[in-house]
Amino acid sequence: MKKLLISAALINFIALNTFAGGTESPANISFDQLLSHISAAPVAVPEPASDKVSTPAGADGRYWITVKAADKQTRTRLLEAGLDIVEIDKDSVSGFAGAYTMDLLSSKAYAVTSRLTLAEYAASVNKDFPAGDAAYHNFQETTGLLKQMASANPEIASLFSIGKTTEGRDIWCLRINSGAKGTAASAKPGALYIGNHHAREHLSNEVPLLFAAWLLEHKGDADIKNYIAKLDIYIIPMLNPDGVEYDIKSGNYRYHRKNMSTNSDGSRGVDLNRNYDSWWCEAGASSYPGSDTYCGPKAFSEPESQAVKKFIEARKNLKTHISYHTYGSEILYPWGGSDSDIPNLKDKQVFEKVGAEMGKITGYYSHKSSEMYVATGDSCDWAYAAGGIFAYTFELDGRGFYPGAAIINSTVTKNIKAAVYLFSVTDNPYKAI
Ligand SMILES: [Zn+2]
C-alpha cells in the first residue's frame, strides 16, 4: 500500500512539473491546470480489502463514539475528559476516544450510545482511500510547489521557513509582497493564512496552498495587483507536516490530529490548537497526554506553536488572519476559550460583520467560537489577544476528514473568494462596520 501511494504521489509530482513547463527552469503554475489536474487526479489503484480493516485501528485502540450531551457545559467537560469532539447533534456528540477517556466516561456515568473501533468507523465512512487521494499534496509536494511559486514570481514572492517541527521539517511560509522579501520588515498591513494545525485535516493545506497559486496567477488582475501592492501577505499552508506525514505514510489514514512530540508517558502528540497561551488548558482541553485534545506540558511547549508565536510577535503589521481546519462549514471568531464576548464592542462588531460577509461568500455559518463548546489554548484567541489580529477559524466543508479529491475544487474556489474579501478589509478592518 505504501509503495502504491508513493508512486501515485510521484505521478502527481511529475504531472505538476510537466504542466509547469516540463523543464528544470521554473515557470508560472497555472491555477486552472492545477485544479483540472486535481479533478482528474484520483488514481484508480484498488486497495486490498484486508488493508482497510487491518491497519487504521491497529494498535491505536481508539474508538469512534457517540455520547449523550445536550448542552455546552457537557460538551466542554467531554473535551476535558479527552474526547475529541468531531460532530455535534442536538442531543449528542460524536468523536474519537482512547481507552483512558472511555474509562473516564464510564466512571462518570456518561451515556455512550454507540461505539465503533477506528477500523469499523473508517470502513463505514471511507471506501477508496488513500490511493484515490493522490491529488492532495503531501509535505514534499507542498514544499516543491511553494518553491516553484516563489522562483517563478521573484518580483513579488519569497519563501522562508518560520521554524522546524519536532521531527525537523521546515514550516514553510510563502510571502507575497511587492517590496519586502523573506523576513524583512514591512509597514504594509498584513494578512496571514495558516493551514493544517491538525494533521488529518488535509483539505486545510489545499485551500491556502492553492490560494497562493491562484493569487500568483492572477497577479496582473487590477484588484489583485492592487492588494499585492498595498498588503503584506503570508501563507503557511502546512503547520504540522510531521503529523500529516504520519497520517498518510502507512497507506491507510490514521485519523491523527496532533503533532508528533513524544510525551512523558511515551504517547505521541500534542493538540497544537490547545497549546497556545490563551487560558491554556483551563477548559475544553485534556491534560492527559494520550488524548486527542492534550494541551501539552505547558503553553507553547511545541515547536510548531512556538514558531507561530514568534512569527506573529515579530510582525506588528498583521491585521487579519484565517486558520483553516476541517470540517463543519463554519466560520468561528473569538472567544473560543471563554463563554463571554470579547470586551471591545467595536472589535466584536468587526468580527461579526466580516465573519458574516465571508459566510455569505462560502455558505458557512459564522458565529462566536464558544457557542458550541468552550475550548482553551486556541490559536485565534491568542492571535487576537496578543496581536489585536482579526483572526478567524474556518471549518471547511465536507463530511468526514477524508472527503476525497472531488471536494477540493469547489472548496478551494469559494474559499479563494472569502480570502480575497479579507484582503479588502485588511488595511482597515473597522471600515467593515
Ligand atoms: Zn482542526
Instruction: Put the strands of the sheet holding 170-176 in their side by side order.
Output: 157-164, 170-176, 232-236, 190-194, 318-326, 390-396, 330-333, 365-368
Same domain flag for 102 and 82? yes
- At 131, is the pLDDT very low, low, confident or very high (cuts 50, 70, 90)? low
Is 369 domain-assigned?
yes
- Give the residue from 107, 125, 143 where a domain finishes: 125
Same domain flag for 325 and 358? yes
Which residues on neighbouring strands pair with residue 95, listed in sequence order? 65, 85
Nearest to 432 by CA among 317, 337, 352: 352
Instruction: Put the strands of the sheet holding 92-97 in their side by side order.
Output: 84-88, 92-97, 63-68, 112-117
Same domain flag for 172 and 83? no
CB 177 within 8 A of CB 233: yes
Same domain flag for 113 and 190? no
SS3 assignment, position 286: strand
- Is residue 25 scored above 50 in pLDDT? no
Is 6 domain-assigned?
no
C-alpha cell, 146: 511553494
- Give the residue from 91, 125, 159 where a domain finishes: 125
* Whole-structure pTM value: 0.84
CB 307 within 8 A of CB 249: no
Q: What is the mean pLDDT of the chain?
A: 88
SS3 assignment, position 101: helix
Helix axes 406-426, 203-217, angle to 10 degrees: 60
Same domain flag for 121 and 199? no
- The DSSP code for 131 is G
Look up the CATH number of the domain holding residue 99.
Answer: 3.30.70
Q: Which helix (H) or strand (E) holds 255?
A: none
- Is residue 46 scored above 90 in pLDDT? no
What pLDDT, in 10s, does the model give residues 304-347?
999 999 999 999 999 999 999 999 999 999 999 999 999 999 99
How far apart CA 86 and CA 26 sit, in angstroms, is 41
Nearest to 241 by CA among 282, 219, 209: 209
Is 10 domain-assigned?
no
Nearest to 159 by CA among 168, 149, 169, 167: 149
Residue 81 belongs to domain spanning: 52-125
Same domain flag for 305 and 177? yes
170's CB contacts (< 8 A; 6+ apart) are: 143, 161, 163, 164
Give distance in angstroms: CA of 40 to centre of ligand 1.
Answer: 27
pLDDT value, residue 78: 96
Question: Which residue shows C-alpha cell 497577479?
Answer: 219
Give distance in angstroms: CA of 195 to centre of ligand 1.
Answer: 9
Nearest to 97 by CA among 122, 64, 126: 64
- Say if residue 369 is exposed, middle or buried (CB neighbours under 10 Å; 0-12, 13-18, 19+): buried
pLDDT value, residue 398: 83
Is 65 domain-assigned?
yes
Is 45 domain-assigned?
no
Same domain flag for 56 and 156? no
Give distance in angstroms: CA of 271 to centre of ligand 1.
Answer: 9
- Give the residue from 125, 152, 185 where a domain finishes: 125
Q: Can you say how many angstroms the Cα of residue 371 is from the centroid of all Cα atoms in its chain?
A: 20
State the catalytic residue, choosing from 141, 304, 330, 395.
Answer: 395
Same domain flag for 411 and 368? yes
How far apart CA 342 and CA 334 sit, in angstroms, is 7
- At 37, is the pLDDT very low, low, confident or very high (cuts 50, 70, 90)? low
Same domain flag for 229 and 105? no
Q: Report CA torsion sign: 376, 378, 384, 385.
A: positive
Look up the CATH number of the domain holding residue 183.
Answer: 3.40.630.10
**Rounded mean pLDDT, 191-217:** 98
pLDDT value, residue 300: 98
155 annotated active-site: no
Q: Residue 406 — φ and ψ, nearest 5°?
A: -65, -25
Is 147 domain-assigned?
yes
Is 66 domain-assigned?
yes
Give distance in angstroms: CA of 300 to centre of ligand 1.
Answer: 17
Q: Residue 289 — φ and ψ, nearest 5°?
A: -55, -35
How far apart CA 282 and CA 294 sit, in angstroms, is 12
Give distance in angstroms: CA of 154 to centre of ligand 1.
Answer: 32
**Rounded mean pLDDT, 280-298:** 97
- At 20, is the pLDDT very low, low, confident or very high (cuts 50, 70, 90)? very low
Give distance in angstroms: CA of 370 to centre of ligand 1.
Answer: 15
Is 16 domain-assigned?
no
Q: Can you say how many angstroms the Cα of residue 416 is from the centroid of all Cα atoms in its chain?
A: 15
- How large is the C-alpha radius of gyration of the chain? 21
- Is residue 196 scored above 80 in pLDDT? yes
pLDDT value, residue 36: 63
Same domain flag for 324 and 390? yes
Tally of domains within the chain: 2
